[in-house]
Amino acid sequence: MPRLHLSPPELTGAERDLLLDALASNWIAPLGPHVDAFEREVAAKVDMPHAVATSSGTAALHLALEVAGVTTGDEVWVSTLTFIASASPITYLGATPVFVDSEPTTWMMDTTRVAAELDAAARRGKLPRAIVTVDLYGVITDPAPLVEACRAHGVVIVEDAAEALGATLGGRPAGSLADLSILSFNGNKIITTSGGGMLLARRKDWADRARFLATQAREPVPHYEHQVVGYNYRLSNLLAAVGRAQLADLDRRVTTRRAINARYRERLAGLPGWRFLDEGPRQRASYWLTTATIDPAAFGATRDDVIAALAAADIEARPLWKPLHLQPAFRGCRTIGTGEVSQALFERGLCLPSGGQMTMDDVDRVATIAAAAGRAR
C-alpha cells in the first residue's frame, strides 16, 4: 500500500501543455501572459475585481496588510487557531498580533464577540488597524457580524482564504467576503503551483500598490528609482501556467473532498466522542481537510492514539493547528478570550487524509483503523 498523505499535490495532466506553452514562448522570466491570465481567471472564480499573483500566500498577506495601512506599533487581530502564516506578516510590518480565541461550535473567530471588542477598543482609544479572519480547513468564517463595526471604526478586514478556495457562503466564494483576501497555492492546498499565492482586492488602488510593492517598488522610469523599499514577491510565468491547469479542475476537487468528508462522517461520526468540523449555515465548505475532535473519555482512546494507529499503517494524520497564542514565537502577545477553546480543540483535534486521489476504499481503510483504536484501548 502506498503511503497515504494528508493532502498531496494532484496533477490534472493539463499542466504539461500549459508549461510547454510557457517554455515555447520563451517566457521563463517572472511575469508574462500566464500570470496575467491566472490573475484574471482566479479573480473571476472568486468574484473579486482585482488579483495580484504572488510567490506565496504569506507574501500575499504581507502585501494585503501593508496596503491596508498596517505599520509599526499597530495592532492586528487574528484568529489564534490557524497556521502561523496568518500572523507572521503582522510582525514583518512591526505590528503586534492580538489572538482571538475560537468559538466552540464553529472553531472560527467569534465575529459577534470581536465586534463588541472593537467598540470597547474604540472607547479605550486603541483600535486595531486590521482584522484577519481565517477560513479554517475549508470552512468559512462569516464576517457579517463584524462588517458594520469595522466600517464604523475604519478597521480593514482581511480574509485569509488560503484553506478555503472553492468554498461558498450564501453563494459568495471564499476570498470575496472582505475587501482584501489572500489565497495560497502551496503544495498541500486544494490547487497548487508548487508554491504561490494570490492577493485579491476590491479596490484597484490597493491591487496596484500591492503589485508595485511586490516588484521591488520600482518607479516607472528607465533607471532604477525607488521611493520606498519593496519586495520580490511576484509569481513566475511558469508556475502561473501550472496554476491555470489546476484552477480549471477546482470544482471537481471540491466535490471530491466533500465526498471524502461525507464518507468519513458515515463511518466515524456515530462513534462516541467524535465530532466533525461542520460547515456553517448557508455554507458549502470545500473541506480542504476533514477534521474532527475526539473526546478520549467517551471514545476510549486519545487523538494521539488514533494518529499512532494510522502511522503504523503508513497513513498520515496530524493534530489541528497549534494555536498561535501558545507558540513560543508569540510569547507575551495578548489574547481576546481565554484561549482555552482553541487549546482544547488543539488537544483533541486531528486532520485526516483528504487528498483528491483518495478512493472511498482508502477512506474506509483509514476509518476502520481509526475506529479500531478506540476498541483497542
Ligand X SMILES: *Cc1c(COP(=O)(O)O)cnc(C)c1O
* Interaction site with ligand X (CB under 6 A): 56-58, 82-83, 85-86, 134, 160, 162-163, 184, 186, 197
Residue 316, C-alpha cell as written in the block: 498520515
Nearer to ligand X, 247 or 367 (CB): 247
Nearer to ligand X, 199 or 366 (CB): 199
Q: What is the closest distance, in whole angstroms, from the C-beta atom of residue 84 to ligand X in the complex?
A: 8
Q: What is the closest distance, in whole angstroms, from the C-beta atom of residue 300 to ligand X in the complex?
A: 32
Q: What is the closest distance, in whole angstroms, from the C-beta atom of residue 9 to ligand X in the complex?
A: 13
CA 232 to chain CA mean position, Å: 22
Q: What is the closest distance, in whole angstroms, from the C-beta atom of residue 58 to ligand X in the complex?
A: 3
N-term to C-term CA, the chain: 26
CA distance 81 to 307: 20
Beta bridge partners of 98: 77
Q: What is the closest distance, in whole angstroms, from the C-beta atom of residue 181 to ligand X in the complex?
A: 11
Nearer to ligand X, 162 or 336 (CB): 162
- What amino acid occupies position 1? M
Which 3 state secondary structure label does DSSP give 70? coil
The closest of 170, 171, 172, 174 to 162, measured between CA atoms, is 174
Nearer to ligand X, 58 or 236 (CB): 58
Nearer to ligand X, 137 or 274 (CB): 137
Largest CA distance in the chain: 71
Nearer to ligand X, 63 or 241 (CB): 63
Query: What is the tally of helices (H) and strands (E) in the chain?
Result: 13, 15
Q: What is the closest distance, in whole angstroms, from the C-beta atom of residue 85 to ligand X in the complex?
A: 4
Which stretches within 160-236 are classed as H helix? 204-214
CA 187 to chain CA mean position, Å: 13
Please answer whether residues 6 and 353 qualify as being in contact, where contact means their C-beta atoms are separated by less than 8 angstroms.
yes
